[in-house]
């Protein structure tokens, strides 16, 4: 048989297993990361239109970030439009003030753009000129801005583009006129002539996913860096100038133009149910290693804020917050049913006490809402264990698990949910991705999603994360959908998500597979010991490998080779930081980019130790992070690492910090799952899903249910690309295509190499 000849595979479609799927199973995760909102979903074309950027957003940023000017521009804070929007500008003509938008403002010929701002005529006569100008300063669209006398005035006017192109918004104030300006906005108008809230092509891309729910606002943004950065929903509703902008934990600015009302409206647009995630009374623990906690005396008010959020979503117009929603233009309730409490929090006593207060209040006052608990950032480890234990104690309905792992991890863990306790809480697999954006990763996710369906009695909800990333402004990869100002670039993972979401079954059917389904993971190959110290310079002496001394070296950013080590071996060294603020990395075995171990001595701002394993050039943290005082300049650190086949032990200053056995189980690469549903015409349909994440096609034969009657229908197939094609910041190298399927018992069907197939089949 040649290397590309199909491998036989037999599938037996059996009877329903009794597992039914939650109709909410597949949803989306929307966090303001990677400029997903401002510069993304937010249709606003101006950046920093309210002059509220500060150095807290990012060092070097301030009120005039994204603006250029000629002439006299004064930054002012007296008598602002609103105390929440405290900074504005005074322009004393002649002056021009130009906003560059989010890397230029795209205008289309003939299109209408709504400009609005607060203006105050301070003195003089005349009108300001407004124009969207091209690179040569020539107008693409223009209008005049008249400001009556007497305090802040809310201006609103439309500019219609005479020409299309890339532009900037320019305000020109003539000599003799002094004007103050704040809260400038420029939005494209929709077909109804009204300014758009959301960028249309991104909304269309999300709508095509047919998500059941939208998680928001995070992720880390939900609990923020410190109490001042907690996402308080009330700060995000109402007129724009009354909203409270904030620094974004991902290193930029949140204008809050897309606040809670817009989020609920987005859910409505997408036909999805909302799933707010609120802080459990504590901030993110990654702030100098400790979460900030809302003082107990302030907790009743915080609990009330969360109850008010539910009332804002669900309350009738006769309730205080339901009336507020109606006043803001949405009398109909949003039907909130899910609410997440906490995100990846360290499970401390402080967390538990606060969590319980909020959960109790919600249970007694809003039984219509199911609260989702949290189990740390990793799919294992201390917070995961304690998070689950606490969830069981609290009788939490659903627990949010997260896993950003290698494709190998997903293929090795397809049995993860088979043995979960069916009596305890259910699972929301709330953030996951197989790194990074390749076809291989997308297929690993598809394989895992099949097993989530198979375990639909325990896995009730799932969402890939993160959802959106603007090119050039990304803090996290991989992401589901990349975009720039003009284009939307869905990844291969996007197609996988869509192939699950648009064709859902109701009840799981047993599928038995026979054939070559697993790929072995060979023992880790021998290789070199390699050292690096990004962010520091470290002297290494008293070093040995397997007892043989090694000459002293100095290590910096670039990797330094210390010597060869086998699958079993011992490295010992003394590392002394000479300068810098970070620690050191030791890499062991394997080849340059593949299949090696990495021990971080002072990762995460020199605060932890971690062991990683690299597969397919991608890293998984497999033990830790465990808190550590880190490396200090001029303080020697004695390190001993012993490899014993898959067992790895790491001692730091004679303390055993890591002792683990690396998972080298085979990967299941050929996976099948099946559900059934009743179509609108009453016919029973099978939704069959097949992953072949190997380089050989499978020649599949089927034993069919229902008396062996042939199954016919249409299959959507994602195939045809190199498994390693598809990188972050690119569109998927492969698109799904449809083929007709006719399955008679015993008739073969060829499943392509590196493919994912979803077939919707009917008997007859």
The residues assigned a catalytic role are 344
Supply the minimum distance, in Å, between the C-beta of residue 598 and ligand AHR: 20
Q: Strand pairing partners for 179?
A: 91, 121
The token duo for 356 is: 């319980």
When the beta carbons of 277 and 704 are compared against ligand AHR, the nearer one is 277
| 38 sits near ligand AHR (criterion: CB under 6 A) | no
| 218 sits near ligand AHR (criterion: CB under 6 A) | yes
Contact 113, 45 (CB under 8 A): yes
Contact segment (CB under 6 A) with ligand AHR among 218-226, 266-274, 548-556, 703-711 equals 218-226
d(CA 726, CA 754): 13
C-alpha to C-alpha distances, 261 to 144, 323, 429, 432, nearest whole angstrom: 32, 13, 26, 27
Q: What is the DSSP letter of 110?
A: T
Interacting residue with ligand AHR among 476, 626, 651, 729 (CB under 6 A): 476
Interacting residue with ligand AHR among 49, 101, 195, 219 (CB under 6 A): 219
Q: Site size for ligand AHR, by CB under 6 A?
A: 12
Integer Rg of the chain from CA: 29
- Selection from 497, 504, 472 nearest residue 487 by Cα: 472
Interacting residue with ligand AHR among 38, 344, 352, 401 (CB under 6 A): 344
When the beta carbons of 435 and 698 are compared against ligand AHR, the nearer one is 435
Supply the minimum distance, in Å, between the C-beta of residue 378 and ligand AHR: 9
Supply the minimum distance, in Å, between the C-beta of residue 219 and ligand AHR: 3
d(CA 640, CA 655): 10
When the beta carbons of 161 and 465 are compared against ligand AHR, the nearer one is 465
- Selection from 452, 392, 445 nearest residue 418 by Cα: 452
Site for ligand AHR in 193-212 (CB under 6 A): none
| 343 sits near ligand AHR (criterion: CB under 6 A) | yes
Interacting residue with ligand AHR among 407, 466, 624, 673 (CB under 6 A): 466
Supply the minimum distance, in Å, between the C-beta of residue 401 and ligand AHR: 11
- Selection from 77, 80, 70, 76 nearest residue 90 by Cα: 76
The token duo for 641 is: 């690492």
d(CA 285, CA 355): 15
List alpha helices for 229-278, DSSP H: 260-270
When the beta carbons of 51 and 482 are compared against ligand AHR, the nearer one is 482
Per-residue contact string for residues 421-440; x = within reach of ligand AHR by CB under 6 A: ----------x---------
Contact segment (CB under 6 A) with ligand AHR among 123-131, 216-224, 409-417, 615-623 equals 216-224
Helix (H, G, I), strand (E, B) or coil at 96: strand
Q: Tell me the HSE value of 217 on the side-chain side, using a 13 A CA sphere.
A: 28
**Tally of CB atoms within 10 A around 559:** 15
Chain residue whose CB lies nearest ligand AHR: 219
Supply the minimum distance, in Å, between the C-beta of residue 431 and ligand AHR: 5
- CA angle 136-183-265, nearest 5°? 105
When the beta carbons of 343 and 473 are compared against ligand AHR, the nearer one is 343
Beta-carbon contacts of 306 under 8 Å, excluding residues fewer than 6 positions away, are 278, 339, 358, 361, 362
Interacting residue with ligand AHR among 130, 396, 465, 763 (CB under 6 A): 465
Supply the minimum distance, in Å, between the C-beta of residue 467 and ligand AHR: 9
Site for ligand AHR in 371-390 (CB under 6 A): 377
When the beta carbons of 231 and 334 are compared against ligand AHR, the nearer one is 231
Work out the end-to-end distance of the chain between its first and last CA atoms, rounded to an integer number of angstroms.
35
Interacting residue with ligand AHR among 41, 171, 186, 220 (CB under 6 A): 220
The token duo for 390 is: 């606490």
Supply the minimum distance, in Å, between the C-beta of residue 314 and ligand AHR: 26
| 346 sits near ligand AHR (criterion: CB under 6 A) | no
Backbone angles phi, psi at 529, to 5 degrees: -90, 125
Supply the minimum distance, in Å, between the C-beta of residue 480 and ligand AHR: 10
The token duo for 731 is: 């569109």
Helix (H, G, I), strand (E, B) or coil at 231: coil
Residues that bind ligand AHR (CB under 6 A): 31, 33, 218-220, 343-344, 377, 431, 465-466, 476
């Amino acid at each position: 048989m040649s290397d590309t000849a199909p491998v036989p595979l037999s599938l037996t479609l059996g009877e329903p297993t009794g597992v039914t799927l939650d109709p909410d199973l597949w949803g989306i995760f929307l966090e303001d990361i990677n400029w997903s909102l401002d510069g993304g979903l937010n249709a606003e074309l101006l950046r920093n239109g309210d002059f509220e950027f500060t150095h807290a957003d990012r060092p070097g940023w301030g009120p005039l970030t994204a603006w250029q000017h000629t002439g006299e521009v004064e930054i002012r804070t007296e008598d602002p439009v609103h105390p929440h929007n405290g900074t504005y500008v005074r322009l004393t003509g002649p002056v021009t003030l130009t906003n560059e938008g989010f890397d230029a403002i795209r205008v289309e010929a003939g299109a209408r753009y709504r400009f609005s701002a607060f203006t105050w005529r301070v003195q003089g006569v005349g009108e300001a000129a407004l124009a969207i100008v091209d690179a040569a300063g020539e107008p693409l669209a223009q209008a005049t801005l008249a400001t009556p006398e007497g305090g802040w005035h809310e201006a609103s006017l439309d500019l219609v583009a005479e020409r299309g192109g890339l532009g900037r918004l320019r305000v020109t104030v003539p000599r003799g006129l002094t004007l103050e300006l704040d809260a400038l906005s420029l939005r494209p108008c929709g077909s109804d002539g009204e300014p758009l809230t959301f960028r249309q092509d991104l909304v269309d891309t999300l709508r095509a996913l047919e998500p059941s729910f939208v998680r928001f606002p995070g992720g880390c943004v939900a609990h923020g860096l410190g109490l001042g950065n907690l996402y308080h929903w009330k700060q995000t509703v109402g007129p724009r100038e009354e909203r409270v902008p904030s620094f974004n934990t991902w290193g930029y600015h949140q204008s809050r133009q897309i606040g809670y009302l817009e989020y609920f409206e987005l859910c409505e647009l997408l036909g999805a149910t909302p799933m707010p995630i609120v802080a459990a009374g504590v901030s993110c623990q990654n702030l100098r290693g400790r979460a900030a906690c809302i003082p107990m005396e302030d907790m009743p008010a915080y609990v009330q804020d969360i109850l008010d959020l539910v009332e804002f979503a669900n309350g009738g117009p006769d309730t205080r917050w339901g009336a507020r929603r109606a006043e803001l233009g949405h009398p109909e309730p949003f039907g909130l049913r899910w609410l997440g409490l906490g995100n990846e929090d360290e499970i401390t006593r402080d967390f538990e006490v606060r969590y319980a207060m909020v959960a109790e209040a919600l249970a007694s006052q809003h039984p219509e809402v199911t609260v989702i608990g949290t189990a740390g950032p990793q799919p294992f480890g201390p917070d995961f264990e304690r998070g689950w234990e606490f969830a069981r104690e609290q009788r939490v309905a659903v627990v949010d698990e997260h896993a950003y792992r290698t494709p190998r991890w997903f293929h090795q863990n397809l049995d993860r949910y088979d043995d979960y306790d069916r009596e305890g809480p259910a699972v929301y697999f709330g953030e996951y991705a197989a790194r990074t954006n390749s076809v291989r990763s997308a297929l690993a996710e598809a394989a895992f999603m099949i097993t989530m369906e198979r375990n639909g009695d325990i896995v009730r909800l799932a969402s890939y994360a993160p959802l959106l990333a603007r090119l050039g402004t990304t803090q996290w990869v991989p992401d589901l959908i990349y975009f720039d100002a003009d284009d939307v670039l869905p990844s291969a993972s996007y197609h996988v998500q869509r192939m699950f979401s648009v064709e859902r079954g109701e009840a799981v059917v047993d599928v038995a597979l026979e054939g070559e389904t697993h790929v072995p993971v060979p023992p880790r190959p021998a290789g070199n010991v390699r050292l690096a110290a990004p962010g520091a310079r470290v002297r290494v002496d008293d070093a040995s490998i397997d007892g043989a001394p090694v000459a002293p070296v100095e290590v910096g950013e670039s990797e330094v080779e210390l010597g060869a080590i086998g699958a079993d071996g011992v490295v010992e060294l003394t590392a002394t930081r000479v300068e810098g603020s970070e620690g050191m990395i030791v890499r062991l075995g394997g080849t340059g980019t593949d299949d090696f171990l990495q021990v971080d001595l002072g990762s995460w701002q020199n605060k932890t130790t971690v062991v990683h394993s690299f597969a397919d050039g991608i890293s998984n943290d497999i033990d830790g992070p465990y808190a550590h005082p880190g490396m200090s300049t001029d303080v020697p650190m004695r390190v001993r690492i012993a490899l014993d086949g898959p067992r790895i032990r790491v001692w730091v200053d004679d303390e055993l910090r890591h002792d683990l056995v690396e998972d080298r189980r085979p990967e299941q690469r050929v996976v099948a799952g099946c559900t059934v549903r009743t179509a609108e015409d009453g016919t029973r349909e099978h939704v069959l899903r097949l992953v072949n994440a190997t380089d050989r096609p499978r020649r599949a034969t089927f034993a069919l249910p229902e008396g062996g009657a042939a199954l016919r229908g249409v299959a959507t197939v994602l195939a045809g690309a190199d498994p390693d094609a598809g990188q972050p910041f690119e569109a998927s190298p492969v698109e799904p295509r449809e083929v007709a399927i006719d399955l008679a018992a015993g008739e073969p069907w060829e499943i392509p190499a590196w493919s994912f197939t979803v077939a919707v089949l009917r008997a007859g």
